[in-house]
Amino acid sequence: MKKKIYILSILIGNLIFHGCDYCIQLKGRVLSNKNDEPIREAQITLKSRNITVVTDSLGFFYLQDCGGGRCPKPIYVVSKEGYKDFEMEFRSMDSGDGIIVKTGQKNYDLGGKYFYPDSMNSSTYLAVIAFEKYSKDYAKRGDSVIFYMDIDNEEANFENFLRNFQNGRWDIR
């Protein structure tokens, strides 16, 4: 009985005093979704540890965090002024099922204008338009990931909306 207690106490002591070692790393590139140009000085942050690296002039980066204790949740945020943020959680690099990309909507108030999808029925109209809030396109290349950042420009989004629907059946008042 003493032998079992002694072995159990050694195992518990090792877990308490040594913990678990981890080393997570992410390397890749950040490009513009519009023209595949590299985005320099984009920030890639390991969210749970607040560790940030910056892309070089060709958009490449390498982020590594090694330590003891509990392995941080691998959620990364890619950001650059003028672009929509990109947030991704890696559960596994082996399959697409282990990657979760954050999505969300950003509402654009039409400022008193209304869009009528059916010009014969004025009871159906839009007063607010929702645009994607985050960049969401990426590609895996071997052990690297490429983030494609969308330009964050509400006016351009709204102009595209107008251009697409003024030529169609929509009535704008």
Per-residue pLDDT tens, the chain, 173 aa: give them.
Answer: 554 444 433 334 444 444 568 888 899 999 999 899 999 999 999 998 899 999 999 999 999 998 888 777 889 999 999 999 999 987 765 555 577 888 888 777 776 667 676 667 777 777 777 778 888 899 988 889 999 999 888 777 777 777 766 666 555 54
Listed residue (123, 137, 37) closest to 78, CA to CA: 137
- Residue-wise burial string across 108-127, b where 16 or more C-beta atoms lie within 10 A, e elsewhere: eebeeeebbeeeeeeeebbe
Q: Is residue 109 part of a domain?
A: yes
Looking up residue 159, the CATH number of its domain turns out to be 2.60.40.1120
Q: What is the domain range of residue 138?
A: 23-172
Classify residue 110: in a domain, yes or no.
Answer: yes
10 domain residue, yes or no: no
Q: Give residue 163's pLDDT.
A: 72
The H or E element that residue 18 is part of is: helix 2-18
Q: Is 0.75 topped by the overall pTM?
A: no
Let me know the angle formed at the C-alpha of 77 by 98 and 109, rounded to the nearest 5 degrees: 105
Numbers of helices and strands, H then E, in the chain: 2, 13
Q: Give the number of domains in the chain.
A: 1
